[in-house]
């Protein structure tokens, strides 16, 4: 039995703010203007991580704790890929090292840095496909504000050329080449760049969706090695989460984040709609809408408590699926073999530099078996939920992609277009 199968049939799970229960109302502060910090006037005066009742803005800040690249020191294998609407699949895997210089969490990002300082360093070493092995990247994201807008220094190393090259910063709202997610989807968005509104509450029963053709997945679990797990056993907030409802659902706040033109001029994403787990505020689902109000992308996550010492802030993305609906591109990122690290000062000064990439040295050769074997075993397109929060959401698809989504739902696996325009499983 899957998590989705226990969702009550035909039961309305979402509630607008006006329909929320008294218990939920007691946790929500409906103010849209609150005192501001004397030190940083664009953030709330109440010290982060805030106390209940929470404003919609404070919920947005709490959700920003959980960016795609977690805000602590660790190593992992990032297994990633994309499949097109015609069934062409492209995948890769990189051993990734992350260090924060001791500034863990969103609080460290906000308060321990001046704008223009590097807040973290990420070294990525390609291990798949074989022809890419040894190619590397170094990402050095900055703490930013209105005056300092550069988000990252970015270097790549090519084994063929045996040279390190500095790359131009990608546009924040532009898709990576041949993929479905943007630069901001990976690096994260600052919560003060948006205006926040609570739409209501909802219950999610399924986030990342496996096809019927992939009943198991093998994950590299630290301390256990390779473990084959039934796909249906992977739940939205992981195995150790204690907040599941008796029917398996996860209660969520649903918030709308509208881009502020003074912070994000010419940004192509007008607003986001996010489903945040009610206690941790972990973002389990994100929808992006363009300036014309059309749906651009749906992002779904399965989380896991990867850093127990950080308590409710220790959840991290285990699997993320990104569906660009315009091009029917389905991308994924599987963070396998997550291993906490306490980088020594020597390691910090050595590993996280452009010069180190020339050595072509894997500090910790983590392994994975999570690469998808064929397009037919790729993750499903996310749920659409067309009836939820209609005043803020318009999850409409083109006729051809809508037909493919319906065919997928009937088949229980991806359905692709053919050369004739017809759909094929």
Q: What is the model's pLDDT at position 120?
A: 97
Cα–Cα distance for residue pair 37/54, rounded to 1 Å: 17
Instruction: Give the burial class of 283: count Cβ atoms within 10 A of its Cβ; 0-12 exposed, 13-18 middle, 19 or more buried.
Output: buried
pTM check: above 0.85: yes
Among the listed residues 137, 98, 168, 114, the one whose alpha carbon sits nearest the alpha carbon of residue 340: 98
* Bridge-based pairing state of the strands 89-99 and 74-83: antiparallel
Q: What is the model's pLDDT at position 425?
A: 58
Among the listed residues 210, 166, 169, 181, the one whose alpha carbon sits nearest the alpha carbon of residue 68: 181
Burial 179-196 (b: 16+ CB within 10 A, else e): bbbbbbbbbbbbbbbbbb
Strand partners, 54: 28
Q: What is the model's pLDDT at position 288?
A: 98
In contact, 43 and 110? CB cutoff 8 Å: yes
Q: Give the per-residue SS3 of the chain.
A: CCCHHHCCCCCCCCEEHHHCCHHHHHCECCCCCCCECCCCCCCECCCCCCCCCECHHHHHHHHCCCCCCCCCCEEEEEEEEEECCCCCEEEEEEEEEEECCCCCHHHHHHHCCCCCCECCEEEEEEEECHHHCCCEEEEEEECCCCCCCCCEEEEEEECCCCEEEEECCCCCCCECCCCCCEHHHHHCCCHHHEEEEEEEEEEECCCCCCCCCCCEEEEEECCCEEEEEEHHHCCCCCCCCCCCCCCCCEEEEEEEEEECCCCCCCCCEEEEEEEEECCCCCEEEEEEEECCCCEEEEEEEEEEECCHHHHHHCEEEEEEEEEECCCCEEEEEEEEEEEECCCCHHHHHHHCCHHHHCCCCCCCCCCCCCCCCCHHHCCCCCCCCCCCCCCCCCCCCCHHHHHHHHHHHHHCCCCEECCCCCEEC
Residue-level pLDDT, tens digit, the chain, 425 residues: 344 445 555 689 999 999 999 999 999 999 999 999 999 999 999 999 999 999 999 999 999 999 999 999 999 999 999 999 999 999 999 999 999 999 999 999 999 999 999 999 999 999 999 999 999 999 999 999 999 999 999 999 999 989 999 999 989 999 988 889 999 999 999 999 999 999 999 999 999 999 999 999 999 999 999 999 999 999 999 999 999 999 999 999 999 999 999 999 999 999 999 999 999 999 999 999 999 999 999 999 999 999 999 999 999 999 999 999 999 999 999 999 999 999 999 999 999 999 999 999 999 889 999 999 999 999 999 999 999 999 999 999 999 999 999 999 999 999 998 554 455 55
Q: Where are the domains of the chain?
A: 8-32+48-424
Q: What is the model's pLDDT at position 11?
A: 86
Take residue 63 and report the two structure tokens written for it: 């959700």
Q: Which CATH architecture has domain 8-32+48-424?
A: Clam (2.50)
Instruction: Give the burial class of 174: count Cβ atoms within 10 A of its Cβ; 0-12 exposed, 13-18 middle, 19 or more buried.
Output: exposed
Q: What is the model's pLDDT at position 10?
A: 66
Q: What is the model's pLDDT at position 403?
A: 95
Q: What is the model's pLDDT at position 364?
A: 86
């Amino acid at each position: 039995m899957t998590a989705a199968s226990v969702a009550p049939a035909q039961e309305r799970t979402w509630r607008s703010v006006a329909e929320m229960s008294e218990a939920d109302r007691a946790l929500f502060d409906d103010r849209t203007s609150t005192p501001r910090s004397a030190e940083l006037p664009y953030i709330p005066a109440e010290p982060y991580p805030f106390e209940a009742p929470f404003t919609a803005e404070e919920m947005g800040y709490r959700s920003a704790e959980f960016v795609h690249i977690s805000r602590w020191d660790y190593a992992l294998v990032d297994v990633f890929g994309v499949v097109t609407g015609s069934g062409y699949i492209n995948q890769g895997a990189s051993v990734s090292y992350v260090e924060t210089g001791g500034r863990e969490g969103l609080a460290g990002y906000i308060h321990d840095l001046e704008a223009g300082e590097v807040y973290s360093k990420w070294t990525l070493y390609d291990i798949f496909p074989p022809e890419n092995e040894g190619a590397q990247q170094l990402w050095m994201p900055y703490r930013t504000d209105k005056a300092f807008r550069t988000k990252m220094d970015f270097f790549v190393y090519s084994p063929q050329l045996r040279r390190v090259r500095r790359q131009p910063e990608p546009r924040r709202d532009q898709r990576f080449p041949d993929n479905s997610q943007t630069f901001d989807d990976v690096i994260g968005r600052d919560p003060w760049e948006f205006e926040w509104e609570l739409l209501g509450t909802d219950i999610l029963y399924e986030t990342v969706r496996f096809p019927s053709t992939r009943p198991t997945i093998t994950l590299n679990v630290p301390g256990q090695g390779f473990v084959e797990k039934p796909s249906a056993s992977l739940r939205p907030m992981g195995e150790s989460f204690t907040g599941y409802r008796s029917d398996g659902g996860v209660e969520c706040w649903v918030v709308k984040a509208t881009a502020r033109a003074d912070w994000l001029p010419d940004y192509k994403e007008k607003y986001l709609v996010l489903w945040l787990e009610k206690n941790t505020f972990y973002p389990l689902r994100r929808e992006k809408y363009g300036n014309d109000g059309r749906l651009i992308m749906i992002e779904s996550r399965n989380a896991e408590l990867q850093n127990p010492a950080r308590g409710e802030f220790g959840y991290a993305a285990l699997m993320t699926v990104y569906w660009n609906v315009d091009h029917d591109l389905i991308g994924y990122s599987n963070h396998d073999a997550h291993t906490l690290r306490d980088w020594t000062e020597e390691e910090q000064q050595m590993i996280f530099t452009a010069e180190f990439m020339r050595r072509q040295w894997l500090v910790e050769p983590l392994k994975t078996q999570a690469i998808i074997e064929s397009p037919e075993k790729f993750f499903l397109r996310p749920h659409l939920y067309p009836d939820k929060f209609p005043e803020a959401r318009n999850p409409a698809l083109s006729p051809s992609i809508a037909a493919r989504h319906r065919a997928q739902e009937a088949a229980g696996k991806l359905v692709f277009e053919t050369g004739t325009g017809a759909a094929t499983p």
